[in-house]
Copies of this chain bind each other. A is one copy, B any other.
Amino acid sequence: MTVPSATGLPPRVRIHEVGARDGLQNEKTAVPTEVKAEFIHRLAAAGLTTVEATSFVHPKWVPQLADAEQLFPLLSDVPAELPVLVPNERGLDRALALGATRIAVFGSATETFAARNLNRTVAESLAMFEPVVARAKAAGAHVRGYLSMCFGDPWEGAVPVPQVVRTAKALLDLGCDELSLGDTIGVATPGHVQALLGELNAAGVATGRIGVHFHDTYGQALSNTLAALQHGVTTVDASAGGLGGCPYAKSATGNLATEDLVWMLDGLGIETGVDLAALTATSVWMAERLGRPSPSRTVRALSHKE
């Protein structure tokens, strides 16, 4: 359907698909390794060019992704970049041994979440990431730095922009190629998003190095994404079918659904390379394996019509 296109927005957006990692690590249902592999193959076949595959975290902490060593070799023919999360040097060793070329570390903008999630202060976690990033870069890998709790924190409330900028800069100073700003609990609104992006620019961080990662807990993820696009952001994290959830808002949905994002980008005439029908079919297929419907409104609307 041809509709008027928007002006002042980027012509192309790269979607960083997180369903297989951020999505599945929050799902209660155990997913067999072969199903994960097929999921990732199907996501790439639907046109996604960056598909975060798994996490080389200790199985004790994220049992859902304990099969990273078995899964990753099944993905060698996937025509997409396949970043993997690594929490520390041990995780990096495991990822590099399997040939990973894109890794990600996961930091926190707040002390409370750093303490609860990483069992460290923010400064200690940055110190832990330092050799991880340095060695990854030395091995030729691309490094993404996730920064969680960039807008609100369940214990600390609104997170001051200067505090987020400081930690974001520190992650980039370690050598991260790109940053993913996470609204982990989904409380952000568009003005806050644009304010943070503006302050990051003022601190010398180019918009091209910034990705955004919104959660839909309060239904704000897509509006916040629009605000980020209007600021010039061209990397957007999303999760196929809206997979995953936030452990701090159990009844709420989790990540921005890739399909809802693609619907908007298609309508805006912004190229993604994604085939929405193929992606929706993949999310319906995955939802069947998880035994529950997709929370994505676009998936529900399109699959109902089929």
Binding site for B on A (CB under 8 A): 1-7, 9, 151-152, 157-158, 161, 186-192, 194-196, 216-220, 222-223, 225-227, 249-253, 257, 260, 263-264, 266-269, 296-298, 300-301, 303-305
Contacts and interface: CB of A to CB of B under 8 A. Distances in A.
A223 to B, nearest CB: 5
26 contacts: A4-B195, A4-B196, A6-B195, A187-B267, A189-B264, A189-B267, A189-B268, A190-B226, A190-B264, A192-B267, A216-B297, A218-B260, A218-B263, A218-B297, A219-B222, A219-B297, A219-B298, A220-B264, A223-B225, A226-B226, A226-B227, A249-B301, A251-B301, A251-B304, A252-B300, A253-B297
Contacts of A226: 190, 223, 226-227
Contacts of A161: 4
Given A191-B268, A269-B191, A301 B6 contact: no
Given A218-B260, A301-B252, A304-B249, A267 B191 contact: yes
Contact of A217 (B196, B253, B269, B301): B301
A4 B191 CA distance: 6
Contacts of A300: 251-252
A30 B303 CA distance: 29
The quantity of this chain's copies bound in the complex is: 2
A158 B1 CA distance: 6
Nearest to A230: B230
Among A223, A257, A263, A268, max chain B CB count under 10 A is at: A223
A5 B252 CA distance: 25
A249 to B, nearest CB: 5
B192 A260 contact: no
Contact of A304 (B189, B225, B250, B297): B250
Contact of A305 (B249, B257, B298, B301): B249
Nearest to A198: B4
Contacts of A249: 301, 304-305
Contacts of A2: 158
A266 to B, nearest CB: 8
Nearest to A256: B219
A261 to B, nearest CB: 9
A186 B257 CA distance: 16
Nearest to A269: B191
A137 to B, nearest CB: 33
Nearest to A298: B218
Among A191, A219, A297, A303, max chain B CB count under 10 A is at: A219
